[in-house]
C-alpha cells in the first residue's frame, strides 16, 4: 500500500502543480500496478479539469467542462456542490486506500441488516439508488476485520485523506512525502 500511496500521490502532485490539472476520476480502476507493486501509475485522463495557480478549478479555462468523477469515490465538495480544488483528488485516493484494506469498493456494503431485500436489488429502483447515493461523499467505516495495529499507517493515510473539509486534507506533495517515509520504514522492517 505504501508503494501505491507514494507513486500515486507523486503523480497527483505532478498533475496539480506542473500540469495544473485535476485528474477528476481518481479511483482504484485508474491505477496500473506493475508486478509486485514495483511501479504504480495513474491512468485515464479523459475527464481532467484545469486548475489555476492556486489549485482551484479554473472555470474560465474549462469552458463547458464540469467535474465528472465516479460518484462512489467523489469528494464531499463534489457531491454537495462545493469548491473544486486540487484536494478534490485526495479524497478518492483515501477511499482507494480504504478499498485496498477492505478489499471492496467504497459504499457498496449495506450495514442495516433489517433493510428490505428489494432495496439491495441491483435494479433501477430509486430506493436502492437513494440508499447508496446518500453514502457518497462520506467516509466509509473501517471494516471490523481491519487491525488498527497492523494497518496503523494506511489507516492514518485514509483518515488524513478523507478529512471532510477538503482544505484541511493534505496536498498531494505532503501525502507523497508521508507515503515515501512509510515505504522506507516498511522496507527497513522487512530487511
Decide if 44 is inside a domain.
Answer: yes
Decide if 116 is inside a domain.
Answer: no
d(CA 102, CA 55): 31
Q: Are strands 21-22 and 39-42 parallel, antiparallel or unpaired?
A: unpaired
Decide if 121 is inside a domain.
Answer: no
Catalytic positions: 25
Decide if 181 is inside a domain.
Answer: yes
d(CA 191, CA 183): 13
Cell 473501517 appears where?
142
The sign of the CA dihedral 19, 42, 132, 109 is negative
Segment 115-133, tens digit of pLDDT:
444 343 344 445 545 656 7
- For residue 95 the three cell numbers come to 477511499
d(CA 95, CA 57): 21
pTM equals 0.85
Please indicate whether residue 149 or residue 58 has the higher confidence score (pLDDT).
58
Decide if 128 is inside a domain.
Answer: no
CB 23 within 8 A of CB 45: yes
Decide if 29 is inside a domain.
Answer: yes
- Among 30-44, 62-76, 136-150, 159-173, the range scoring the smallest mean pLDDT is 159-173
Share of the chain above pLDDT 90, in %: 61
In terms of residue numbers, what domain contains 75?
2-107+134-190
d(CA 45, CA 99): 21
CATH number at residue 6: 1.10.510.10
- Among 38-47, 61-70, 162-171, the range scoring the smallest mean pLDDT is 162-171
Query: Which of 185, 102, 100 has the alpha carbon at shortest distance from 145?
Result: 102
Decide if 92 is inside a domain.
Answer: yes
pLDDT of 132 reads 61
Segment 83-104, tens digit of pLDDT:
999 999 999 999 999 999 999 9
Decide if 155 is inside a domain.
Answer: yes
Task: Quote the number of domains for the chain.
Answer: 1
CA dihedral 110, 111, 114, 119 (to 10 degrees): -20
Averaged over 54-60, what is the pLDDT?
Answer: 95
Amino acid at each position: 500500500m505504501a508503494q501505491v500511496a507514494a507513486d500515486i500521490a507523486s503523480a497527483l502532485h505532478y498533475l496539480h502543480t506542473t500540469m495544473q490539472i485535476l485528474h477528476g476520476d481518481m479511483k482504484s480502476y485508474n491505477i496500473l500496478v506493475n508486478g509486485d507493486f514495483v511501479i504504480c501509475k495513474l491512468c485515464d485522463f479523459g475527464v481532467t479539469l484545469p486548475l489555476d495557480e492556486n489549485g482551484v478549478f479554473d472555470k474560465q479555462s474549462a469552458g463547458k467542462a464540469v467535474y465528472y468523477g465516479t460518484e462512489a469515490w467523489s469528494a464531499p465538495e463534489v457531491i454537495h456542490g462545493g469548491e473544486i480544488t486540487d484536494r478534490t483528488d485526495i479524497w478518492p485516493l483515501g477511499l482507494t486506500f480504504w478499498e485496498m484494506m477492505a478489499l471492496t469498493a467504497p459504499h457498496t456494503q449495506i450495514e442495516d441488516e433489517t433493510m428490505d431485500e428489494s432495496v439491495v436489488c441491483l435494479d433501477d429502483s430509486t430506493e436502492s439508488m437513494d440508499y447508496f447515493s446518500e453514502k457518497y461523499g462520506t467516509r466509509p467505516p473501517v471494516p471490523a476485520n481491519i487491525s488498527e495495529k497492523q494497518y496503523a499507517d494506511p489507516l492514518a493515510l485514509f483518515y488524513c485523506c478523507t478529512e471532510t473539509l477538503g482544505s484541511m486534507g493534505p496536498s498531494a506533495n505532503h501525502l507523497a512525502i508521508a507515503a515515501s517515509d512509510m515505504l522506507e520504514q516498511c522496507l527497513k522492517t522487512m530487511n
